[in-house]
Structure 1
């Protein structure tokens, strides 16, 4: 075959790939909720094994295999073979729970208690910002979902309704992008809470300089991705972020803009309110100016217009980040009220608060998107508009609440510890090692997953692969990414990007 014919075939395959990985309208929100509910259901099975049998302590190779199959394999199956029957998969995952509780609970090993004076001397005061298992699980599950989806979307076994939509609608991958930003906002609340506890306020210029240091590695990754995608002629969708823009640029520009918005917090003491106001103003601009038409149909005749999707959707993602910070201010602190002294009372208050926020976000989404009783606006990930903002906030708030509820039921000791040592032990006992590993080095693992995704696409004609071959490749890919995450965690390595 001549080089010209090979080039023509490659160009044809690239065009087919670009059309294949895009979807016009996506799937229904209810279907997305059913598929993503597989992760909390799998966690129930993991929690039953651990709380009843201490199955994952010590962490043997068998324990790792079960941990991987429950918390990674179940998500992969939900996106592929069981995409049309997620309820069946959930039932299959819950079935072992009944068997676990049918087995008599083993007698606890009696340990000699240390003298009271020594315990009091060795115990350390608890930190006001503890590591919480349900947050680790939430962020770990989000990272696993993202890493699996970015490769699975290239295979025919991955339903087209789960792929990113073109202009309007909802899909699994659309909620994944927003969830990544929301999760980053939750983490960004920790330094703000530390400042609040210390009773000090960082000057604006200092915040900006720190944020720029955080942004620089992400912007470098953005340029590396831009160079590799263009240099390797990798299939991409211009309508996703633009000709040159990519998701790393969005993540990189978030910190300095958030630093500026923290000054507005002195006037409006709610990051959620700031996010709602910002996205509402952006939606007004979309509806009452030519902005929407420009983003969707405008010509690409200069650098600004070529990247208009990434530039203007940034306002929506910034609002999502602020909403994530608002949630972080709720879920990260040890206590929400100084009047509540017991851990059980604090956890009850947290669950009620999270439930209330779920109701708020769902109500706001319904108001903006309802045809009969609302504004009749359609979700658009391309625009990152107001209903997309409310949808992402509602989805993530419900996910966090679900994980928090599972932890509260199966591991009540996680929020009732009285000293730092016991708290660290209960955290380790009630947290999946796989979720912990993904959470610890999330961005580094995500970068490695992107590199592996590119490698697979350059070496395997993914559109021509059958179901069995596709599942073998995807499970091998998930195993490598998970092995990398577990390896970094085992060697106590934290990669800060």
Structure 2
């Protein structure tokens, strides 16, 4: 890469201060609003059943392109985009009669997809919640969109990662990625709790989780050597000289096993998450640790060179445990009380979102003289950052769960076959594919991002050219995700 252009690229993503949380909320609201319109089309018109070419295009426009446009062309007017998407939904609600029973909105048994048949045949004891699938897929889509869009001028600088202090869309995206991983990890936790007699010792579980982390750590090494070898533009203060996000997510699983043991004495993962965040914040405020991470010279040792990645790991561990906590709450259920379990999950998410929001306000503002007024720092992954990520993700989950509750109510006497059919009917196939193949899509997104940046001068292209590239990139990711799903290949994070 040309040295002058490399310097411009690095300056393009450096020394940024982020934007307002209200704007970030308005931009990310497009995902629930798009799902709202999708749900109205499906519940009232069965528009996506059968899944025709037109249905695929509309699905892509709603659940992928809308997110892309919210972060680029409509970045200065996200509320307008939300209004444009929500308006057809409200018009349909006013002019289309509601089906008398859920069965009228369901597809015929012959139209059931292969996915529902496979889900029925799988001996899965825990429920599959459409709103969880939608939440994780929407998070994956906005993450994949942002990692390439940030290299173009059409993506506002206030959405890119803040240097030291501040809130931005990409700062939130990193934490949300970790939180969602914690949510889905609760599935294995609940399975192990239901079979305590066969629970393996800590050492064996630690070694097993370490083996499972090896692919991610290898990917981290591949990224490290490819960036250095290709002289690719990099932002060293993000994680350090050698550290990258693959190392962070790869090391989470082994450390979580340790806290699974502590959970026998402190059975609340929320308390564990808050405990880590509080102790880490105390260390930042009462020692020289904050100065060491932020402003000290980088020494020759590996810790000094990678201090951001090493110490921010504590904050991400707290985020992961908080996600694990809410995942355990909403995935467990009494099979005989499915509608009640849905209401319980919705209530729990609402309470959790409110609680985390109050804690965040008290921690990051003066809050009428009672708050600590500690600024958010993704670079440190400090306590305000942890609380912000947890509050946002619980709120997003609440919105997706609310939409599912309204448009796809659970029957009073559910059956396993009926649940599989209902789940398939209530979930976008594109979002299902992104959720099912998260690892493959995330890797492909990183590879395509590198290929685009090495092929074209992203800083110098026009808005039209940038959007053509970004829409094409999103279409390729979607096509691969859907193709893997049709081939029944599953590669998740």
Deviation readout 1:152-197 (Å, 9 max, x if unpaired): 0000000000000000000000000000000111111111101111
The answer (yes or no) to whether the contact 1:272–1:326 under 8 Å persists in 2 is: yes
**Mapped partners of 1:428, 1:24: distance in 2:** 42
Tell me whether 1:24 sits opposite 2:16 in the alignment.
yes
Q: Counterpart in 2 of 1:117?
A: none
CA RMSD of the aligned region, Å?
2.1
Tell me whether 1:481 sits opposite 2:477 in the alignment.
yes
| CA separation of 1:346 and 1:241: change in aligned 2, threshold 3 A | same
The answer (yes or no) to whether the contact 1:128–1:333 under 8 Å persists in 2 is: no
Q: CA deviation at 1:455?
A: 0.4
List gaps (5 residues or longer) in structure 2.
110-119
The answer (yes or no) to whether the contact 1:142–1:180 under 8 Å persists in 2 is: yes
Q: Counterpart in 2 of 1:287?
A: 285
| Counterpart among 182, 185, 188 of residue 188 in structure 1 | 185
The answer (yes or no) to whether the contact 1:162–1:172 under 8 Å persists in 2 is: yes
Tell me whether 1:146 sits opposite 2:146 in the alignment.
no
Q: Counterpart in 2 of 1:391?
A: 388
Structure 1 segment 64-463 matched on structure 2, within 5 A: 64-101=56-93, 102-103=95-96, 108=104, 128-200=125-197, 201-302=199-300, 303-335=302-334, 341-371=336-366, 372-413=369-410, 416=412, 418-463=414-459
**Mapped partners of 1:23, 1:447: distance in 2:** 27
Which stretch of the first structure deviates more once superposed, 135-144 or 260-269?
A: 260-269
| CA separation of 1:112 and 1:359: change in aligned 2, threshold 3 A | closer
Following superposition, which runs of at least 4 residues in structure 1 exceed 2 angstroms of deviation? 21-24, 98-101, 103-113, 123-128, 199-202, 341-346
Q: Counterpart in 1 of 2:487?
A: 491
Task: Work out the number of aligned pairs and report it.
Answer: 475
**Mapped partners of 1:416, 1:471: distance in 2:** 47
The answer (yes or no) to whether the contact 2:43–2:105 under 8 Å persists in 1 is: no
**Mapped partners of 1:432, 1:50: distance in 2:** 9
Q: Counterpart in 2 of 1:466?
A: 462
**Mapped partners of 2:481, 2:313: distance in 1:** 29
Q: CA deviation at 1:112?
A: 11
| CA separation of 1:355 and 1:492: change in aligned 2, threshold 3 A | same
| CA separation of 1:249 and 1:47: change in aligned 2, threshold 3 A | same
**Mapped partners of 2:490, 2:62: distance in 1:** 25
**Mapped partners of 2:125, 2:348: distance in 1:** 19
Which stretch of the first structure deviates more once superposed, 37-46 or 91-100?
A: 91-100
Deviation readout 1:206-265 (Å, 9 max, x if unpaired): 111111111100000000000111111111110000000000000111111111111111
**Mapped partners of 2:222, 2:122: distance in 1:** 45
Q: Counterpart in 1 of 2:113?
A: none
Q: Provide the secondary structure at the position in 1 that maps to 2:375.
A: coil
The answer (yes or no) to whether the contact 1:316–1:386 under 8 Å persists in 2 is: yes
Which stretch of the first structure deviates more once superposed, 292-301 or 242-251?
A: 292-301
The answer (yes or no) to whether the contact 1:272–1:322 under 8 Å persists in 2 is: yes
**Mapped partners of 2:38, 2:105: distance in 1:** 22
The answer (yes or no) to whether the contact 1:128–1:334 under 8 Å persists in 2 is: no
Deviation readout 1:42-93 (Å, 9 max, x if unpaired): 1000000000111111111111100000000000010001111111101110
Q: Counterpart in 2 of 1:120?
A: none
Larger Rg: 1
**Mapped partners of 1:461, 1:125: distance in 2:** 48
**Mapped partners of 2:489, 2:73: distance in 1:** 35
**Mapped partners of 1:479, 1:22: distance in 2:** 29
| CA separation of 1:464 and 1:277: change in aligned 2, threshold 3 A | same
